[in-house]
Structure 1
């Protein structure tokens, strides 16, 4: 494995996504923040649901994107409020992050 540590982010998209494809309604999205254009970041969107993807589901998606959690890394959860300009009442948003490394031959 490469020694280059990156950060994976998991968040509930309350109004759907616009990338990599447009979705409507709440869904969870996982991406790995990297150098370069955001549109080039590895990303996975789960089908419309508010149920948090399990640790096993997150690890499987990370592997499919070419990454693995750093040894001993845990998902760190954070709460925030959505922006006031959203088309619905301001509410708490939930997100998580974890340190990851590219797998050998991965996309990173």
Structure 2
């Protein structure tokens, strides 16, 4: 997952059944531009993960505050990953 909340870009790997504060995270020290797909892949590699075979980044928008039309918009990206040592299994 890539997100820009709080003014900086973050990539993190969601680990089901694990508290969010334990998820592997990579932070960019810039607010703009958004990381490219290649930069996102490099961040995942640094975290020990790889994009799953056949998976592609999916970008979407969401509201920072649910159901508030005046809320700032968040830009999010997601992609299925596997541990880098998994070798495509």
Q: Same fold (TM over 0.5)?
A: yes
**1:56-87 Cα distance to aligned partner (Å, 9 max, x none):** 11111101101000111111111112217xxx
Indicate the structure with greater helix content.
Answer: 2
Q: Tell me, what secondary structure is at the counterpart of 2:75? A: strand
Size of the aligned set, in residue pairs, is 82
Determine which of 37, 43, 48 is the counterpart of 2:19: 37
Consecutive unaligned residues of structure 1, counting only runs of 5 or more, are 1-8, 16-25
TM-score (norm 2): 0.82
RMSD of aligned alpha carbons: 1.7
Structure with bigger RCO (C-alpha 8 Å, 6+ apart): 1
**Contact in 2 for aligned 1:27/1:48 (Cα 8 Å):** yes
Consecutive unaligned residues of structure 2, counting only runs of 5 or more, are none
Structure 1's consecutive aligned runs of 4 or more residues displaced over 6 angstroms after TM superposition are: none
Q: Is 1:90 matched up with 2:82?
A: no
